[in-house]
Amino acid sequence: MASFTTFTQRPSINDMRLSIFALDGVFDTGLTALLDTFATANELAALQGFDAAPVEVNLVGVRRRVRTALGFSAMVEPLSAVRQPDWVVVPARHAN
Amino acid sequence: MASFTTFTQRPSINDMRLSIFALDGVFDTGLTALLDTFATANELAALQGFDAAPVEVNLVGVRRRVRTALGFSAMVEPLSAVRQPDWVVVPARHAN
């Protein structure tokens, strides 16, 4: 007989760890759409009563900062400092 | 009789001046999608043989840098330093 997980109570889990691995020259809309999608998912979960963000998102890179194709920059975590992620997504660099 | 502008020769114009006015806390995907759209339009125009970028895009703000909702930052031009723009677009700030 199959086993189902049902959400009759709001779960308080944060066990999906997602690393977004950004390289210099990353295509800006690709990167921001990813980050905003998961940020919005976490915000909606909070509105639904989740105690913890369902997805822990880390922006990681090879240096301390990443610089996008359009010239935006942000601090990133080194890969070595991130707990073993469940998923790593590498958004594409900008191609001319 | 109507007058038409025809493009039998590639125009070398850059007479649409667009200022994108970014405020701190701007919604990242809204800002980057705008910037990438016009950057791509200019790149496609160059591939078609245009001598000048059809749209001159300036990222402007009230300070020297703008910081987005996700924490990215970039240098911006002060509004006062920009030639009279034809269009000013103000992308929305992130709303929680």
Render each residue's pLDDT in chain B as its tens digit; 96 residues.
Answer: 454 444 444 555 566 899 999 999 999 999 999 999 999 999 999 999 988 889 999 999 999 999 999 999 999 999 888 888 999 999 999 986
The mean per-residue pLDDT over the stretch A64-71 comes to 97
On the CB side of B58, CA atoms within 13 Å amount to 20
B33 and A CB contact within 8 Å: yes
Task: Indicate yes or no: CB of A72 within 8 angstroms of CB of B73.
Answer: yes
What is residue B66's predicted lDDT score, i.e. its pLDDT?
A: 97
Q: What is the count of residue pairs from A and B with beta carbons less than 8 Å apart?
A: 47
B34 and A CB contact within 8 Å: no
Tell whether domain A18-89 is in CATH 1.10.3720.10: no
Q: How confident is the model at residue A90 (pLDDT cuts 50, 70, 90)?
A: very high
Domain boundaries, chain A: 18-89
What is residue B14's predicted lDDT score, i.e. its pLDDT?
A: 60
User: Which top CATH class is B16-89?
Assistant: alpha beta
Task: Indicate yes or no: CB of A29 within 8 angstroms of CB of B33.
Answer: yes
What is residue A6's predicted lDDT score, i.e. its pLDDT?
A: 46
Angle formed at CA A32 by CA A31 and CA A34, multiple of 5 degrees: 70
Contact residues for A61 (Cβ-Cβ < 8 A; gap 6+): A21, A22, A23, A76, A77, A78, A79
B28 and A CB contact within 8 Å: yes
How far, in Å, CA of B71 to CA of B86, rounded? 29
For A41-50, the pLDDT digits (tens) are 999 999 999 8
Q: In what order do the strands lie in the sheet with B73-75?
A: A65-67, A73-75, B73-75, B65-67
How far, in Å, CA of B81 to CA of A17, rounded? 44
